[in-house]
Structure 1
Amino acid sequence: MNSCILMAEIIQAPELRYTSENQTPIAEMLVQFPGSRPEDPPATLKVVGWGNLAQEIQEKYRLGDRVIIEGRLGMNTIDRPEGFKEKRAELTAQRIHPVGADTPLESPVVAASSNSASQSFTARSNPSSTPTVKSTGATFQPQPAPVAEPDFDDIPF
């Protein structure tokens, strides 16, 4: 299952438009999130919401808001005037949650590839079921994975 949870900042205000066929609302916005390493530049991603969610995005969210977005990640191919095709990632939003202004965007992207991750996130959004956790002030610092030399003798074919 393709499922992604992303904490980001809105860097382009949501724009609402409608399909020509049945007038379904579509909201599009651009978000930015930190790179996976401190030296990496921030990444940007187009977010699209459909139907009632599109109208909610247009009404509630503005430029500079910090949000947590749940959705599906996809790739679009765009024909460029220069004669080549370009691939761009796009997140189709299923839910959006506002984040307080005091929450830093210093952590790397949180992505989930199973339904259980989004279910556990939803369960945590209920304040009555949220466990109390004391912060030690430590921050998560990702460590590079050890590089192992391939063993060509164990190839199964």
Structure 2
Amino acid sequence: MNSCILMAEVIQEPQIRYTPDSQLAVAEMTVELPGLRDDDPPTQLKVVGWGNLAQEIQEKYHPGDRVIIEGRLHMNTVDRPEGFKEKRAELTAQRIHLLAAGTTLSTISSVPTSTVASGSNTSASSAPSAPSTPKAPPAKREASEPARTPAYSAAPTSEPDYDDIPF
């Protein structure tokens, strides 16, 4: 499934236009994403919104606003006047959320401690790790007691799994 969530800063005033046949609103704006590393330049990306979202984009978002954009990423091929074709990424927005003033865009991410293997430190953040507590040795089983394996139920959960959508 093609789904992206990006945090970016609006750098160009949104422009709205309408399709000639159905009079459907289309808004376009350019956002800037920080580079992956401190020495990497920022990346610009065109964001497109359709219908009611297009009107919301034009009314609510302006250069300097920091936003979280949910949508679908795809590539467009553009014929250049120099005689070659150029590929450009474009994000078709489905939702946009305005971030609070003063929020900074950062490339530093942290890895939850539950996903880090025991004894290794692969986290990109410099947060101190939680102190480890010694575990009690496992209780000894009687020789006649069979080894137990955890039972996993195939019962449905109360929340749907959105990644398990049949096509």
Alpha-carbon deviation of 1:108?
A: 6.0
Which residue pairs with 2:106 in the alignment?
Answer: 106
Instruction: Tell me the amino acid that sits aligned with residue 7 of structure 1.
Output: M
> Whole-Å Cα distance in 2 between the matches of residues 107 and 93 of structure 1?
22
Alpha-carbon deviation of 1:37?
A: 1.0
Which residue pairs with 2:38 in the alignment?
Answer: 38
Give unpaired runs (5+ residues) of structure 2: 110-123, 127-167
Root-mean-square deviation (Å): 1.8
Which residue pairs with 2:125 in the alignment?
Answer: 140
> Whole-Å Cα distance in 2 between the matches of residues 34 and 83 of structure 1?
31
Q: TM-score, normalised by structure 2?
A: 0.64
Asked if 2 retains the 8 angstrom alpha-carbon contact of 1:34 and 1:108, the reply is no
Poorly superposed stretches of 4+, deviation over 2 Å = none
Going by fraction, where is strand more abundant, 1 or 2? 1
Superposed counterparts of 1:8-157, under 5 Å: 8-107=8-107, 140=125
Asked if 1 retains the 8 angstrom alpha-carbon contact of 2:108 and 2:125, the reply is no
Q: For 2:82, what is the secondary structure of its paired residue?
A: coil
> Whole-Å Cα distance in 1 between the matches of residues 51 and 82 of structure 2?
34
Rg larger in 1 or in 2? 2
Alpha-carbon deviation of 1:76?
A: 0.1
> Whole-Å Cα distance in 2 between the matches of residues 140 and 3 of structure 1?
26
Greater relative CO, 1 or 2 (CA 8 Å, sep 6+): 1
Instruction: Say how many residue pairs are matched.
Output: 113
Aligned-pair identity in percent equals 70
Going by fraction, where is helix more abundant, 1 or 2? 1
When residues 44 and 108 of structure 1 are mapped into structure 2, their CA distance, relative to the original with a 3 A threshold, is farther
Give unpaired runs (5+ residues) of structure 1: 110-138, 142-157
> Whole-Å Cα distance in 2 between the matches of residues 54 and 100 of structure 1?
21
Alpha-carbon deviation of 1:107?
A: 2.5
Instruction: Tell me the amino acid that sits aligned with residue 12 of structure 2.
Output: Q
